[in-house]
Amino acid sequence: MNAVTVGTGPLCATEIVAVARDGAPVALAPEAEAEIARSRAVIDALADDADAHYGVSTGFGALATRHIPARLRAGLQQSVVRSHAAGSGPEVEREVVRALMLLRLATLATGRTGIRPETARAYAALISAGITPIVPEYGSLGCSGDLAPLACCALALTGEGEVRDACGTRRPAAEALAAAGIEPVVLREKEGLALINGTDGMLGMLVLACHDLHRLLRTADLAAAMSVEALLGTDAVFAADLQALRPHPGQADAAANLRVLLADSAIMASHRTPDCTRVQDAYSLRCAPQVHGAARDTLAHAEQVAARELAGAIDNPVVTRDGRVESNGNFHGAPLGFVLDFLAIAVADIASIAERRTDRFLDVARSHGLPAFLADDPGVDSGHMIAQYTQAAIVSELKRLAVPASVDSIPSSAMQEDHVSMGWAAARKLRRGVDGLTRVLGIELLTAARGLDLRHPLAPAPATGAVVAGLRARAGGPGPDRHLAPEIEAAVDYVSSGAALAAAESVTGPLR
């Protein structure tokens, strides 16, 4: 696999995904090494300075008033890493740890942290070797950045703590480093702080969530199209001129997707007759572009914030381009926490409207001729009755996860850090939300596909028909009750892998 080169400029989302999920190695660009060396020279010049410089010759946080003598300054850096690696709880996912390590390396590569070139190289080697430090779930307040998670990674770099090696085996960091031929780093002035003071965890999770939501929002359009079609709804409301009366870009894209997905549907054509008495569909069908579009616009805003953060150099203090060492507040996670919470709201609402569409299939009063609960023999069979229960349970959970974390500041460090972002917590709950949305859409797709099958001999649109055909290779069609959980998981995998979307786009071309 090609290495991702980390230079002085921002990484892009595809590079972050390649390292985090696909295990791509990394390499420092020559200009990054040169910039790192230049800023390190500034720190070296201050190493024996009698004046106080935060992070070089002082303690940290509320202990910043303590002046540290020169002979203790290197040991201070190891101490801060050990003390700050104070998390608790289950392990954070490998992809999250790799993302946050990559993003910390990207900040080191800007040359604004004062770290030594050999330390940055060792950090890159740790990532490339597939060594993943054990990072517990709890410990970050999102200010000063993600201290505890990043400290776990810095601890591993020094040969302490525990990691998982490239094979996933949990082992002492010293063993894993030795096996990979990486010499543990002995930290020098400023380096411990430079390794732990950033927003990299919450930013990494934001980038990964945005990447997934691009696929899931198009899949939501697909599932909605299948539901509209199988419930004998109308596509007239998705007309471009109607949508243009409310010119939100996300809404326009969602409506355009619905139009192409439903094109040439014999089912839709079957009820476009003068004697059709239905004036308009329920909101969950008719307003799909408006709700899905609002989520798209929220995603676009979140990606703007992520792009700005990726272009940043987050540390405290920083080495400025003219050689000053200055304290700052750029580590505060508020910009990320806000959009992480905003996305959790959008995720919950997309899942909520999908569940409402699914529920319409199961009620004979609203399904327009389909059997109760899509059952083969209603009463003897329950069909998809409990699949909707599962959706409802997930949607209820997603609503709870939509409660903002970023407003819940808890002061710390003897009131020195008296307003924190809780951005890490916002990111953790968004990850759970993205997983829940994937499951809700899988169930809607499974139910809508059964509804389309039950409209036989009328044929669905070519695009939705291709999706049903792909699903049928994984899960059976209408018939007597059978163990439903494996079919739900098959549908969820069909969504999460991108295969459902690929099946539709094999007909429509790329959706918006």
Task: Give the pLDDT of the chain (512 residues) as one tens digit per residue.
Answer: 899 999 999 999 999 999 999 999 999 999 999 999 999 999 998 877 777 777 677 766 666 677 777 777 778 889 999 999 999 999 999 999 999 999 999 999 999 999 999 999 999 999 999 999 999 999 999 988 899 999 999 999 999 999 999 999 999 999 999 999 999 999 999 999 999 999 999 999 999 999 999 999 999 999 999 999 999 999 999 999 999 999 999 999 999 999 999 999 999 999 887 777 677 899 999 999 999 999 999 999 999 999 999 999 999 999 999 999 998 999 999 999 999 999 999 999 999 999 999 999 999 999 999 999 999 999 999 999 999 999 999 999 999 999 999 999 888 888 888 889 999 999 999 999 999 999 999 999 999 999 999 999 999 999 999 999 999 999 999 999 999 999 999 999 999 999 999 999 999 999 99
DSSP 294-351: HHHHHHHHHHHHHHHHHT----SSEE-TTS-EE---TT--HHHHHHHHHHHHHHHHHH
- The kind and range of the H/E element at 389 are helix 385-401
Closest to 260 measured CA to CA, from 505, 92, 3, 2: 505
- Would you say 4 and 15 are in contact if contact means Cβ atoms under 8 Å apart? yes
Q: How many CA atoms lie within 13 A of 115 on its CB side?
A: 34
Q: Is 50 exposed, middle or buried (0-12, 13-18, 19+ CB in 10 A)?
A: exposed
Q: For the domain 205-273+280-392+428-508, what is the CATH superfamily, name and number?
A: Fumarase/aspartase (Central domain) (1.20.200.10)
Structure tokens at 344: 């959790």
| Catalytic choice (54, 123, 138, 283) | 54
Query: Cα separation of 451 and 225, whole Å?
Result: 12
Angle, vertex CA 81, rays to CA 75 and CA 82, nearest 5 = 90
Phi, psi for residue 98 in degrees, rounded to 5 = -65, -35
User: Is 54 annotated in the active site?
Assistant: yes
Q: For the domain 4-198, what is the CATH superfamily, name and number?
A: Fumarase/aspartase (N-terminal domain) (1.10.275.10)
State the pLDDT at residue 92: 98
State the pLDDT at residue 69: 77
CA distances from 508 to 127, 185, 256, 329 (A): 39, 53, 11, 48
Closest to 290 measured CA to CA, from 331, 257, 252, 234: 252
State the pLDDT at residue 289: 98
Query: Cα separation of 411 and 413, whole Å?
Result: 7
Structure tokens at 472: 């049928």
Phi, psi for residue 370 in degrees, rounded to 5 = -80, 150
State the pLDDT at residue 63: 67
Q: Is 365 exposed, middle or buried (0-12, 13-18, 19+ CB in 10 A)?
A: exposed
Query: Cα separation of 62 and 82, whole Å?
Result: 17
Sign of the C-alpha dihedral computed for residues 23, 29, 35 and 38 taken in this order: positive
- How many distinct helices (H) and strands (E) make up the chain? 20, 9
Residue whose structure tokens are 């949508």: 243
State the pLDDT at residue 62: 60
Q: Is 239 exposed, middle or buried (0-12, 13-18, 19+ CB in 10 A)?
A: exposed
- In this prediction the pTM is 0.96
DSSP 281-297: --HHHHTHHHHHHHHHH
Domain 205-273+280-392+428-508 in the same topology as domain 4-198: no
Domain locations in the chain as residue ranges? 4-198, 205-273+280-392+428-508
